[in-house]
């Protein structure tokens, strides 16, 4: 739980109650989803001691229109692969043991949808203890992780690139205790996503935007919520800029260093009329970069009442789909002919 400084007792009580509610709801959801859950176990090991030596081969072995929980355990190593989890292969978990020693890496740039090192097109996907990186560097769109499936979750992952690190494209997504690094728009897209206890690190040369959310209409229930996160930066940065004219981003209980520029946000050349539909909010953040007195006039300081429905996993319907690790495993021979 993030420490709250300089707040009233009412706000503290609200935060404690809201946090307990979120944890209770998630625990109940995990209990419901894991009771008796058994997954098919596939092991990837570069030494040849597993079922497959490449991660993509393990994914390819899962049948189309899969209905089983599949747990792909990846042994430590550097996997130089460009990976896709197809839309017709839901219910897959890919898990390392430690993110620092399970590294998936590629070097590509250009089209934002095609450059990704790791593309998740399927629903009900989980990534755990992985490093996913695009080593292209500056000079173009170079996505490390593209998430275009619904109900995807990532736990204790390191996601690294320079521009457009995470293309959080579409669907409901949850990121927990992840380290996310980039310089320009490095969390972008139009997902409905909840980032909890994540570390966002800007490597911008100065003034780079952390987020570029692409909500295009008031009817879209999308946006990025950062809850209990920490920001660090090599030089200066802004919290975001609007890729879409209804862009929605909220930072709550997040530490912001003095590297965050006083204005907080960049207008990306939009007119005053267009900026009136942007929803950029801040609630009970801490650190020298969290001061709101010089924020752009189209940013918001949220009240407890405004923040309450947003800073909970209910905003992404988490109770309906977030699942924990299966409690038992079985082996099953898959045909590679799908």
Q: Which pLDDT tens digit goes with each residue over 26-47? A: 444 333 333 448 999 999 999 9
Q: Which residue has the tokens 């690139």?
A: 161
| Segment 292-301 long-range contacts (CB within 8 Å, at least 24 positions apart) | 292/264, 293/262, 294/262, 294/263, 294/264, 295/262, 295/263, 295/264, 295/265, 296/263, 296/264, 296/265, 296/267, 298/265, 298/267, 299/264, 299/265
Q: Which residue has the tokens 């905003």?
A: 315
Residue 120 domain flag: yes
Domains in the chain: how many in total? Answer: 1
Contact 104, 117 (CB under 8 A): yes
State the catalytic residues: 164, 185
Q: Domain holding 211: CATH number?
A: 2.160.20.10
Residue 337 domain flag: no
Q: How far apart are CA 195 and CA 112, in angstroms?
A: 22
pLDDT for the residue numbered 202: 98
Residue 333 domain flag: no
Q: How far apart are CA 92 and CA 153, in angstroms?
A: 11
pLDDT for the residue numbered 324: 86
pLDDT for the residue numbered 188: 98
The boundaries of the domain holding residue 251 are 9-33+41-321
pLDDT < 50 stretches in the chain: 1-36, 336-338
The tokens of 244 are what? 């879409």
Residue 308 domain flag: yes
pLDDT for the residue numbered 332: 81
pLDDT for the residue numbered 335: 56
Residue 206 domain flag: yes
Q: Which residue has the tokens 């949808």?
A: 113
Residue 178 domain flag: yes
pLDDT for the residue numbered 2: 37
> Half-sphere exposure (CA, 13 Å, Cβ side) for 197?
10
Read off φ and ψ for residue 290, nearest 5 degrees.
-90, -5
Residue 299 domain flag: yes
Residue 4 domain flag: no
């Amino acid at each position: 739980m993030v420490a709250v400084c300089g707040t009233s007792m009412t706000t503290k009580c609200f935060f404690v109650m809201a946090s307990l509610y979120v944890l209770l709801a998630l625990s109940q959801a995990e209990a419901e989803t894991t009771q008796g859950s058994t997954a098919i176990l596939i092991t990837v090991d570069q030494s040849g001691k597993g079922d497959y030596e490449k991660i993509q081969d393990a994914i390819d072995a899962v049948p189309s229109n899969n209905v089983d929980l599949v747990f792909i355990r990846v042994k430590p190593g550097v996997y130089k692969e460009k990976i896709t989890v197809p839309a017709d292969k839901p219910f897959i978990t890919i898990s390392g043991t430690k993110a620092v020693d399970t590294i998936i890496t590629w070097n590509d740039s250009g089209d934002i949808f095609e450059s990704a090192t790791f593309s998740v097109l399927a629903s009900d996907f989980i990534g755990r203890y992985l490093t996913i990186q695009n080593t292209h560097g500056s000079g173009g769109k170079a996505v490390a992780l593209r998430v275009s499936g619904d109900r995807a979750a990532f736990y204790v992952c390191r996601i690294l690139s320079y521009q457009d690190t995470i293309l959080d494209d579409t669907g409901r997504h949850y990121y927990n205790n992840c380290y996310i690094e980039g310089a320009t728009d490095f969390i972008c897209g139009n997902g409905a996503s909840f980032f909890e206890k994540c570390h966002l690190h800007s490597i911008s040369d100065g003034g780079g935007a952390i987020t570029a959310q692409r909500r295009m209409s008031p009817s879209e229930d999308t946006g990025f919520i950062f809850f209990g996160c920490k920001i660090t930066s090599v030089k200066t940065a802004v919290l975001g800029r609007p890729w879409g004219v209804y862009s929605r981003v909220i930072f709550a209980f997040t530490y912001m260093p003095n590297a965050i520029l006083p204005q907080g946000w960049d207008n990306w050349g939009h007119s005053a009329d267009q900026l009136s539909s942007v929803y950029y909010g801040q609630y009970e953040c801490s650190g020298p970069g969290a001061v709101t007195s010089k924020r752009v006039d189209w940013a918001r300081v949220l009240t407890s009442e405004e923040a309450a429905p947003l800073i909970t996993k209910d905003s992404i319907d988490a109770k309906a789909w977030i699942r924990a690790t299966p409690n038992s495993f079985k082996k099953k021979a898959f045909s590679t002919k799908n």
